[in-house]
Amino acid sequence: MSDRKLTTRSGQPFANNEHSLTAGERGPVLLQDYQLIEKLAHFDRERIPERVVHAKGSGAMGHFTLTKDMSAYTKADFLNGEGKVTDTFARFSSVAGEKGYPDTARDVHGFALRFYTNDGNYDIVGNNTPVFFINDPLKFPDFIHSQKREPQTGLRSDDMQWDFWANSPESLHQVTILFSDRGFPYGYPYMEGYGSHTYKWVNAKGEQFWVKYHFKTNHGVKNLSPEDATAMMAKDPDWHRHQMFDAIEEGDFPSWTMYVQIIPYEEGLNYKYDIFDVTKVVSQKDYPLIEVGQFVLDHNPGNFFRDVEQAAMSPANLVPGIEASPDKLLQGRLFSYNDTQRYRLGANYQDIPVNRPKKGVNVDTYERDGYMTTNDNGGDSVVYEPNTQGGPVEDHRGDIAGDEVSGKTGAYPAYDQDYTSQPGALYRIMSEEQKEILTQGIADSLGHVKSEENQKKEIALMKQADPDYGKRVEDKIAAIKAAEKK
Ligand code: HEM
């Protein structure tokens, strides 16, 4: 028998948790049974909207240790002072499936990191891939619709996916990564992470640099074979969640070494590829990786819904010394995350414990009220500015360095439309085995779509990247079709 006493949410003793109040032994139930009503009513409201993308994921807490002072490139406090330790949170996820979707279905994987810095929260919301499928935010809803479920059948559809990809040539680089063995990570701790976009760092002198983030796993990259990934979907649909949770409980802490590529400001503007186009990488020969620190996850959240489901990671969580770049896709993201979080979690989502800045960080705004105000709501403090009441004033540590921009407004196509050189180069460095895994994976999916026009378009794109790439896919699709005819 437990010493803990059951109560209602208002603290009244909850007398009977098995039998409703009824008129007589055989019912009916009485409306006066407010304890029954509270229990059912709360249950009826348990579900909140799942994330519109990256719905299935897992999170953990840890810390980041700076092993190399970065003050030459950025004044960001957590990156200044070798040895500095910053508390962190991370959430890893798949993209297209819903909250209960099997972890080992082929997908890109989210790699979202939060740093609880002295200047407020800084989030790097990246993926386990250095590039993305599209480079204009206007296409994101269309892209995601093609990956989710068909309107009539409610089924996921290879036809929709390839219809979008074959007619969006900018997707080829990411498609080439997705259909390689990297589409099936063994577990979250065994995948690399990338910030993907180019961001800007600014140092205390006001000098600006373009930066790309890389996180290399200290456990070695490990992927599942397509057969093992499929078998795991039946055996343990929550395999990634299990694997990471258990590893942390057992003290085998997932960790990554953080690196950056630093690109001088002017050089970046004139680089051979558009560094603000997230479908492209920047060569590590041109800008080698510089080691920055260690990112370690060493404890599991105490409550999944509170700490992981309600986590609101956002590319718009920036701190002094780190700024956005003109990357069009990133600019769309700067709006979208906080917008969806206001819808998904409510206007006061930043007050949820996992989203609050760390203890001691000053939070002082003129924002007030809204559903679920659970902090002191500013008490009796002044609610407008300017004022003579001692309200908070601007903090110019938050000033941005800014960029020169010019040109005529317009709906411009991408500035650099070479979408095949980099996937071609990636294909050529793959081993024979990797080329086979990639082209078989594509053929198994593309080979079953209804539109021959889309098959031809995609194969032509692959041939443009590398003739052998397109030819292998073409031959494998022909073999699949021949076998099906028999
Ligand atoms: C215009 C392009 C994009 C838009 C509009 C967009 C939008 C969104 C939205 C609305 C969410 C749900 C957020 C939430 O409910 O908390 C989300 C989650 C996420 N997105 Fe994007 N996204 C875009 C591109 C990208 C790119 C390029 C990356 C990676 C480089 C990325 C990585 C992620 C990750 C990791 C999450 C899950 C965050 C978490 O774990 O809570 N997204 N995205």
pLDDT digits (tens, 9 = 90+) for 192-218: 999 999 999 999 999 999 999 999 999
Low-confidence ranges of the chain (pLDDT < 70): none
323-362: per-residue pLDDT in tens? Answer: 999 999 999 999 999 999 999 999 999 999 999 999 999 9
Q: Where in the chain is the domain with CATH 4.10.91.20?
A: 1-46
Note if 303 is an active site residue: no
Q: Report the b/e string of 389-400 with b at 16+ CB within 10 A.
A: eebeeeeeeeee
The topology under which CATH files domain 1-46 is Cytochrome C Oxidase; Chain J (4.10.91)
Give the atom of ligand 1 at the shortest distance from the alpha carbon of 132.
27
**Ligand 1 mean position, distance from CA 333 (Å):** 7
Residue 1 has a pLDDT of: 86
Do residues 28 and 22 touch, judged by C-beta distance below 8 A?
A: yes
Residue 71 phi/psi, 5-degree rounding, is: -65, -20
Helix-strand-coil split of the chain, %, nearest 5: 35, 15, 50
Q: Calculate helix-pair angle for 467-485, 452-465, nearest 10 degrees.
A: 150
Q: How is residue 49 annotated by DSSP?
A: P
Residue 315 has a pLDDT of: 98
Note if 240 is an active site residue: no
Do residues 129 and 114 touch, judged by C-beta distance below 8 A?
A: no
Residue 355 phi/psi, 5-degree rounding, is: -95, -10
Residue 258 has a pLDDT of: 99
Of 69, 62, 57, nearest to 295 by C-alpha is 62
Residue 261 phi/psi, 5-degree rounding, is: -100, 130
Convert 407-433 into a string of H (helix), E (strand) and C (coil): CCCCCCCCCCCCCCHHHHHHHHCCCHH
Q: Which CATH superfamily is domain 57-133+176-354 in?
A: Catalase core domain (2.40.180.10)
- List, chain by chain if needed, residues with CB within 6 Å of any ligand 1 atom: 51-54, 57, 91, 93, 110, 112, 125-127, 132, 137, 140, 196, 278, 311-313, 329, 332-333, 336-337, 340-341, 344
Which among 121, 127, 203, 348 is annotated as catalytic? 127
Q: Where in the chain is the domain with CATH 2.40.180.10?
A: 57-133+176-354
